[in-house]
A = this chain, B = another copy of it.
Amino acid sequence: MTASLVDTPSVGAQSAASPPTPKKALDAYRRVRSQSEALCEPLETEDYVIQTADFASPAKWHLSHVSWFFETFLLEPYVDGYQAFDPLFTYLFNSYYQGVGSPFPRPERGALSRPTVKQVYAYRAHVDRAMAELLENPPSQHSADIQCRLALGLNHEQQHQELLLMDLKYNLSRNPVLPAYRNGELERCPEAKPLNWIDYDAGVVSVGFSGAASDGTLFDGFCFDNEGPRHRVFLEPYRLADRLVTNSEYQAFIADGGYDRHELWLSDGWEACRRQAWRAPLYWFERDGEPMEYTLDGPHTLDPHAPVCHVSFYEADAYARWAGARLATEFEWEHAAAGLEPTGHFVDSGRLHPFAAKDAGEPANAPRQCFGDLWEWTSSDYGPYPGFRPDEGAIGEYNGKFMCNQRVLRGGCCVTPAGHTRLTYRNFFYPDQRWAFNGIRLAAGSS
C-alpha cells in the first residue's frame, strides 16, 4: 500500500497537511479505542455473544475484528517479530478480505462462545500495547504508510462503533423480552414545521473529496478511497426538502394504503415488501393499540414528530412516490450540503435516536439535518467515480468490490461518532436493508 489511498492527485490538500506527531497519533488511537469499549459498558456478558441475523454481528466480533485490522495491516507488516495474540484469530476475525485468506463464514459469527469476552479484551490490550510501541517509535522508512493506515484503521474502528450499536439494537430487538441497551429517557420532539423546498439551479458542479475536511476527522485530510477522485457532474434544476420526513408523515402514507398499493413501489421493492411482510418501519409495533417503537433505550411510544427511521430504500422510494416527489441523487445532496458545517446530532450527544430538525438553521434557506440524525437514502447506485482505482493488495478490498447493487446514503446519523462523517462521505446499503439508522429526505425536479 502506498499513501495513494488517501493521497490521490485529486485529493491534494491532504498531502499538504502536516503529519500528526507521534503523541497526537497515539492520543487519537487511544481516544478511538477507548470509545469502542465505552459503548460496551452497559452490556451483559451474554449480550456480546449473540447474532440474530447474518448481517448483525456479535459485539464480541466487532471488538475483535477492529483489533485484527490493526494487527493485520499495521503490526504484522511494520513490527519486526510481532507475536500475534492467537494465530487462529487471523481466520476468525477477518471480515471479507479474501486477500488475507478465506474468512470465517459471516452467518456463523454467533456460533462462537470462545474466545470469551475476557479474552477479547485481553486481545485488545495486546494489540494496544504493540500499537503504542509502534506509534511512539515508528520506523522512519514506513512512517507515511503507517500514518495512512492508522488513519484508515481508526476510521474503520469508528465505522464499527456505529455498526456495533446498529447490530446490538437489532440483536436485542429479536428477544421477546425487548431488553434495552441502556435505560435512558427519550425527550419528545417538538412539532415539525411544514416542509419547505429549497431550489437549486442547473449546472456543472464538482463533487468528491477535495481535501478540505473539517478538524474533527481522523486525521485532517482523510477520506475513504470511494470519495474520490473529485470530478464534475451536470445537475438539472432540482429542489430539496429542508428537513427529514417525520413519523406522522409516514403514518399518513401507511394510512393511505402505502404498503398495499403496488403502483407506489419498484417491482423488486414490492416483492421484498410481500416476502418480508412489511407493514411499517422496522422496530415499530403496537401495544394495546398504541403505536410503539423499539429503541436503544427500550420500547417507547412512537414520537410523531421525530424523523421516520429504519426504512429500506424501497420504502423511502415508495414514500417519495406517494408524496409526489422522489429521492435526491447523491450529487444533488452533496451540492446542496456543500456550504454547511458538518455538525449535528451525532453519538456524542448521548441521544441514540434521531431528533427533530431545528426550527431555524444557519444559513437561512438551507437544508437542515444534513449531518447527523439519520443517514439519508439517495437514488444513486453505489459505483466508482471516474478514475477510481482501489489500492493494491487486501486493503483495496475495503470499498471497491462492493460497488454494485447498493444505494448511497449521505450525512451520518445519531450513532455516528462525531467528526467521523463529512460532506463527501458515501455510506451504502442494499435497498432492502433496514437496520441502519436510515431516513428519508424528499427531492423533486424544478418547480
Binding site for B on A (CB under 8 A): 44-50, 52, 60, 88, 91-92, 96, 98-99, 104, 108, 110-117, 171-172, 174-177, 179, 202, 204, 231-234, 236, 238, 262-263, 265-270, 314, 317, 326, 379, 381, 383-384, 386-387, 396-397, 401-405, 431, 445
Residues of B within 8 A of A113 (CB): 44, 46-47, 49-50, 171-172, 175, 179
Query: Do B108 and A267 have beta carbons less than 8 Å apart?
Result: no
Q: Complex Cα distance A397/B261, Å?
A: 13
CA distance A60 to B46 in the complex (A): 11
Q: Across the interface, do B175 and A52 meet the contact criterion of CB distance under 8 Å?
A: no
Given the known inter-chain contacts A91-B176, A113-B46, A265-B401, please indicate yes or no for A108 contacting B52, CB distance below 8 A: yes
Q: Which residues of B contact A179 (CB under 8 A)?
A: 113-114
Closest to A403 in B: B266
A202 cross-chain contacts in B, Cβ below 8 A: 232
State in angstroms the CA–CA spacing of A224 and B202 once bound together: 25
Chain copies in complex: 4
Q: Are B46 and A117 in contact (CB under 8 A)?
A: yes
Residues of B within 8 A of A265 (CB): 401
Whole-angstrom distance between the Cβ of A179 and the nearest chain B Cβ: 5
Give the contacting residue for A236; candidates B49, B236, B387, B402; CB below 8 A.
B387
Q: Determine the residue in chain B with the shortest Cβ distance to A52.
A: B111
Question: Known: A49-B113, A50-B111, A386-B445. Contact between A234 and B236, CB under 8 A?
Answer: no
Q: Cα distance A314–B404 when bound, in Å? A: 9
A141 vs chain B, min Cβ distance (A): 27
With most chain B CB atoms within 10 A of its CB, the pick from A104, A204, A234, A403 is A234
Interface centre among A46, A52, A174, by most chain B C-beta atoms within 10 angstroms, is A46
A49 touches which of B49, B99, B381 (Cβ 8 Å): B49
Q: Which residues of B contact A172 (CB under 8 A)?
A: 113
Q: Could you tell me the distance in whole angstroms from the C-beta of A10 to the nearest C-beta in chain B?
A: 11
Q: Complex formed: what's the CA distance from A98 to B263 in Å?
A: 8
A351 to B96, CA, bound (A): 41
- A117: nearest residue on chain B (CB-CB)? B46
Which residues of B have CB within 8 Å of A204?
204, 234
User: Is there an interface contact between A99 and B232, defined as CB atoms closer than 8 Å?
Assistant: no
Complex contacts, A88 vs chain B, CB 8 Å: 176-177
Closest to A263 in B: B99
Q: For the complex, what is the distance from the CA of A172 to the CA of B267, rounded to whole Å?
A: 29
With A46-B60, A92-B176, A270-B401 given, name 16 new contacts (CB 8 A): A44-B113, A46-B48, A46-B114, A46-B117, A47-B113, A88-B177, A98-B270, A99-B262, A114-B177, A114-B179, A202-B232, A234-B234, A263-B396, A266-B401, A266-B404, A379-B383
8 nearest interchain CB pairs? A381-B381, A46-B113, A234-B234, A98-B262, A52-B111, A267-B401, A236-B386, A47-B113
Assess whether A269 is in contact with B176, with CB atoms less than 8 Å apart: no
Q: Which residues of B contact A111 (CB under 8 A)?
A: 50, 52, 171, 174-175
Partner of A96, one of B266, B267, B445: B267
